[in-house]
Amino acid sequence: MSTTQHLQDFVTQVRRDILRQVHQVNSGHPGGSLGCAEFFSILYQEVMEYSSDFDMDGKNEDLFFLSNGHISPVFYSVLSRSGFFPVEELKTFRKIDSRLQGHPTTHEGLPGVRIASGSLGQGMSVAIGAALTKKMNKDSHLIYSLHGDGELQEGQNWEAILYAGSKGVDNLIATIDYNKKQIDGATDDVLPLGDLKKKFEAFDWKVLELKEGNDIEAIKKTLAEAKALTGKKQPVVILMETEMGNGVDFMMGTHAWHGKAPNDEQLEVALSQNPETLGDY
Amino acid sequence: MKTYKNTGNIDTRSGFGAGLAELGKSNPDVVALCADLTGSLKMDEFKNNHPDRFFQIGIAEANMIGIAAGMTIGGKIPFTGTFANFSTGRVYDQIRQSVAYSGKNVKICASHAGLTLGEDGATHQILEDLGLMKMLPGMTVINTCDYNQTKAATIAIAEYDGPVYLRFGRPKVANFTPVDQTFKIGKAVTLTEGNDVTIIATGHLVWEALEAAKELDEKGISAEVINIHTIKPLDETAILKSVRKTKCVVTAEEHNMLGGLGESVARTLALNHPAPQEFVATEDTFGESGEPLMLLDKYGLNAKAISEKAEAVILRKE
């Protein structure tokens, strides 16, 4: 099987996992999760060097930090299908006594998660800290992070963006899930972010624009480009334009599915658009 | 009555700086972060000796806490330094999610706590920080009394794996803790033995409690003074042992009565051994500008206030 076919099957299964997780507890955030299914799949299946035998310190591994923790369904699906914990455990998402909390946390010891996130705007700082420790440890592996675009309205991000640019934290690749939507509607209506490329550049970041953020080849190419830009005294950011709800026709083109689960009928339609590939949990 | 000699007034923040400098030599995993208050926090020696392990974050405390949390991933032991107000209230959610809930080995070191920050006034004089920090699950909360104890505590918390809030202050105060006294987290130090009243003090008010004990001794009242340098976990054994003997207690802290040491002691007594208690603490108020000693007097946080409360609580014994 070609790697692309494998990735396509993986992404489709991840979409099924996302939909089934939020449906089974009638809560959670499918929209952003679906929009980032390709990104997570490529990162964990092809790009990052890591051990699925989880160790918190992650020395001599690439590390990933999810700042917009509400898209936990995609994170959990990809972690489990990358060997961090049994896929069966997806059944426990958001249920009592689960390691799969509504928002990701280290608190219950879920392998693959290195920081709690959910209260927005904190992940960039954490990623910078981990990047600085990698440098102190003379560990040449990279730090990857993901942030929502609406999340950039939190001020702490700009403290972190200023720091990383000014101090040349060049072993960090931050990706912005640029779907231009947030809970209350279009980001342009809630609080416009303006020209993000210019803003990051003004803070001395290297900016890559990824217009096809749901296209496997485009994401692979951009991540490779980003990796090649590390180690050059500048942090790297990817502005990844995604479609919230991608892969489910009635969830696309709207912010309505940011934090809403499908009902039984809607789930059936959604799953029929994403046929089982690697086996449901 | 056992008495203590003040070996010379010196600020507790200098004890922190000295402890950090020593850690710089002894523990290569210790790193320090500061939000533009390196001189005030006495972090210069560490910074000069270990520039590769010192991080000037700028005036961006939220980012500093997050970076510190991230730095623990890979084995570093970050010590953050800024004023107590900016170490807690300003960054509460960052500490809550990225440090406490995430169980990160970050040492949040906070100077200029309480009224004795002085002239800068209430914007900077936090009197709520012990409460904020002790409410966080898993957070260890320490408030040291003098230079020697602050230095020892700074060194001790590097050996402990988990989040810690270490609170100290700005003014020069009596230094009386033996220089070789080991700091044990969560283990109270009984300074004087007495039978009539227990005085449980923390931070700058420990010396004031000793002064109060002397005044009380002259009146024929024997006070047992306990230095509770660790607010959480609280040494309940030491507290209960003493109060079972004296049957009453005064708590003393440079902090709001609501949420501070006094309430932790009251909870301990209510659950185990109810006894009359008086509080030396600010009474749900902000501070104001002024000279530290005058502020302590105005807000009733000194030896005089402690001895008055001690006499009052003794009268409440059954």
**Chain A residues whose beta carbon lies within 8 Å of the beta carbon of residue B53:** 136
* Number of domains into which chain B is organized: 2
Phi and psi torsions of B89, nearest 5°: -60, -45
Separation of first and last alpha carbons in chain B: 25
Instruction: Please indicate, yes or no, whether residues B29 and B169 belong to a single structural domain of this protein.
Output: yes
Please indicate whether, in this complex, the C-beta atoms of A128 and B67 are within 8 angstroms of each other: yes
Please indicate whether, in this complex, the C-beta atoms of A130 and B71 are within 8 angstroms of each other: yes
Domain of B244, CATH number, reads: 3.40.50.920
Q: Does B153 touch chain A (CB under 8 A)?
A: no
**Separation of alpha carbons B20 and B24, rounded Å:** 6
Greatest alpha-carbon span in chain B: 61
Chain A residues with CB within 8 Å of chain B CB: 56-59, 63, 65, 105-107, 114-119, 122-134, 136-137, 139, 155-156, 159-160, 162-163
Mutate one of B33, B50, B63 to test the A interface: name it (highest A CB count within 10 A). B63
Mind listing the pLDDT tens digit for each residue in B269-306?
999 999 999 999 999 999 999 999 999 999 999 999 99
The domain boundary residue, chosen from B173, B202, B227: B173
Q: Does B79 touch chain A (CB under 8 A)?
A: no
**Region for residue A92 given its phi and psi (left: phi exceeds 0; alpha: psi -120 to 50; beta: otherwise):** alpha
Mind listing the pLDDT tens digit for each residue in B127-166?
999 999 999 999 999 999 999 999 999 999 999 999 999 9
Question: Does some domain include residue B183?
Answer: no
Please indicate whether, in this complex, the C-beta atoms of A58 and B68 are within 8 angstroms of each other: no
Our CA-based measurement puts residue A64 at a distance from the nearest CA of chain B, in whole angstroms, of 11
**What integer pLDDT is reported at residue B147 of this predicted model?**
98
Instruction: Please indicate, yes or no, whether residues B120 and B196 belong to a single structural domain of this protein.
Output: no
**Separation of alpha carbons A165 and A203, rounded Å:** 6
**Separation of alpha carbons A42 and B313, rounded Å:** 69
- Output the CA torsion sign for A41, A43, A48, A51: negative
DSSP A41-86: HHIIIII----SS--TT-TTS-EEEESSGGGHHHHHHHHHHTTSS-
Instruction: Please indicate, yes or no, whether residues B142 and B194 belong to a single structural domain of this protein.
Output: no
Please indicate whether, in this complex, the C-beta atoms of A136 and B94 are within 8 angstroms of each other: no
Instruction: Please indicate, yes or no, whether residues B169 and B194 belong to a single structural domain of this protein.
Output: no
**Chain A residues whose beta carbon lies within 8 Å of the beta carbon of residue B72:** 129, 133
Question: Is the model's pLDDT at B64 over the cut of 90?
Answer: yes
Our CA-based measurement puts residue B60 at a distance from the nearest CA of chain A, in whole angstroms, of 6
Question: Does some domain include residue B181?
Answer: no
Q: Does B31 touch chain A (CB under 8 A)?
A: yes
User: A124 to chain B: nearest residue by CA?
Assistant: B66
ipTM of the complex: 0.97
The domain boundary residue, chosen from B173, B199, B225: B173
B311, B134 Cβ separation under 8 angstroms? no
Question: Does some domain include residue B3?
Answer: no
Instruction: Please indicate, yes or no, whether residues B22 and B110 belong to a single structural domain of this protein.
Output: yes
**Separation of alpha carbons A74 and A38, rounded Å:** 10
How many Cα atoms are found within 13 Å in the side-chain-facing hemisphere of A48? 27
Which runs of E-coded beta strand occur in A211-257?
Answer: 236-240
Instruction: Please indicate, yes or no, whether residues B201 and B279 belong to a single structural domain of this protein.
Output: yes
**Separation of alpha carbons A143 and A174, rounded Å:** 8
**What integer pLDDT is reported at residue A1 of this predicted model?**
59
Please indicate whether, in this complex, the C-beta atoms of A129 and B94 are within 8 angstroms of each other: no
Our CA-based measurement puts residue B72 at a distance from the nearest CA of chain A, in whole angstroms, of 7
Please indicate whether, in this complex, the C-beta atoms of B58 and A160 are within 8 angstroms of each other: no
Q: Does B7 touch chain A (CB under 8 A)?
A: no
Q: H or E stretch including B126?
A: none
**Separation of alpha carbons A85 and A112, rounded Å:** 8
Residue B154: what residue type?
T
Which runs of E-coded beta strand occur in chain B?
Answer: 10-11, 30-34, 54-56, 77-83, 107-111, 140-143, 164-167, 172-173, 189-192, 197-201, 223-227, 230-232, 249-256, 277-282
Question: Is the model's pLDDT at B318 over the cut of 90?
Answer: no
The domain boundary residue, chosen from B147, B173, B199: B173
Which of B183, B199, B185 has its CA nearest to residue B146? Answer: B183
Question: Does some domain include residue B208?
Answer: yes
Please name the member of A57, A59, A160 whose beta carbon is closest to the beta carbon of B63.
Answer: A160
Residue stretches of chain A with pLDDT short of 70: 1-2
Catalytic residue among B61, B224, B263, B278: B61
**What integer pLDDT is reported at residue A4 of this predicted model?**
85
- Output the CA torsion sign for B253, B257, B260, B261: positive
Which of A124, A148, A128 has its CA nearest to residue A31? Answer: A148
Please indicate whether, in this complex, the C-beta atoms of B74 and A133 are within 8 angstroms of each other: yes
Q: Does B307 touch chain A (CB under 8 A)?
A: no
Please indicate whether, in this complex, the C-beta atoms of B97 and A114 are within 8 angstroms of each other: no
**Chain A residues whose beta carbon lies within 8 Å of the beta carbon of residue B51:** none
By residue range, what is the domain housing residue B30?
10-173
Please name the member of A122, A132, A160 whose beta carbon is closest to the beta carbon of B71.
Answer: A132
The residues spanned by each domain of chain A are 3-272
User: A134 to chain B: nearest residue by CA?
Assistant: B74
**Separation of alpha carbons A94 and A110, rounded Å:** 13
Burial of A212 (0-12, 13-18, 19+ CB in 10 A): middle
Tell me the count of A-B CB pairs closer than 8 A: 116
B159 among known catalytic residues: no
**Chain A residues whose beta carbon lies within 8 Å of the beta carbon of residue B76:** 133, 136
B254, B248 Cβ separation under 8 angstroms? no
Question: Does some domain include residue B20?
Answer: yes
Instruction: Please indicate, yes or no, whether residues B210 and B310 belong to a single structural domain of this protein.
Output: yes
Residue A93 contacts by C-beta under 8 Å, 6 or more apart in sequence? A21, A22, A24, A25, A28, A72, A73, A76, A100
**What integer pLDDT is reported at residue A3 of this predicted model?**
77
Instruction: Please indicate, yes or no, whether residues B295 and B240 belong to a single structural domain of this protein.
Output: yes
Please indicate whether, in this complex, the C-beta atoms of B97 and A117 are within 8 angstroms of each other: yes
| Bridge-based pairing state of the strands B140-143 and B77-83 | unpaired
Which of B280, B248, B236, B286 has its CA nearest to residue B262? Answer: B280
Please indicate whether, in this complex, the C-beta atoms of A163 and B72 are within 8 angstroms of each other: no
Please indicate whether, in this complex, the C-beta atoms of A107 and B55 are within 8 angstroms of each other: no
Mind listing the pLDDT tens digit for each residue in A179-213?
999 999 999 999 999 999 999 999 999 999 999 99
**Separation of alpha carbons A80 and A63, rounded Å:** 16
The CATH homologous superfamily for domain A3-272 is Thiamin diphosphate (ThDP)-binding fold, Pyr/PP domains (3.40.50.970)
**Separation of alpha carbons A119 and A215, rounded Å:** 29
Please indicate whether, in this complex, the C-beta atoms of B67 and A106 are within 8 angstroms of each other: no
**Separation of alpha carbons A129 and B55, rounded Å:** 10
Our CA-based measurement puts residue A116 at a distance from the nearest CA of chain B, in whole angstroms, of 5
Instruction: Please indicate, yes or no, whether residues B163 and B252 belong to a single structural domain of this protein.
Output: no
Instruction: Please indicate, yes or no, whether residues B211 and B101 belong to a single structural domain of this protein.
Output: no
Q: Does B63 touch chain A (CB under 8 A)?
A: yes
Please name the member of A58, A117, A159 whose beta carbon is closest to the beta carbon of B73.
Answer: A58
Instruction: Please indicate, yes or no, whether residues B46 and B130 belong to a single structural domain of this protein.
Output: yes
**Separation of alpha carbons B116 and B127, rounded Å:** 11
Mutate one of B97, B99, B107, B139 to test the A interface: name it (highest A CB count within 10 A). B97
**Separation of alpha carbons B313 and B318, rounded Å:** 11
Where does the pLDDT of residue B220 fall: very low under 50, low under 70, confident under 90, or very high at 90 and above? very high
Mean pLDDT throughout B47-53?
98
Question: Does some domain include residue B179?
Answer: no
Instruction: Please indicate, yes or no, whether residues B35 and B75 belong to a single structural domain of this protein.
Output: yes
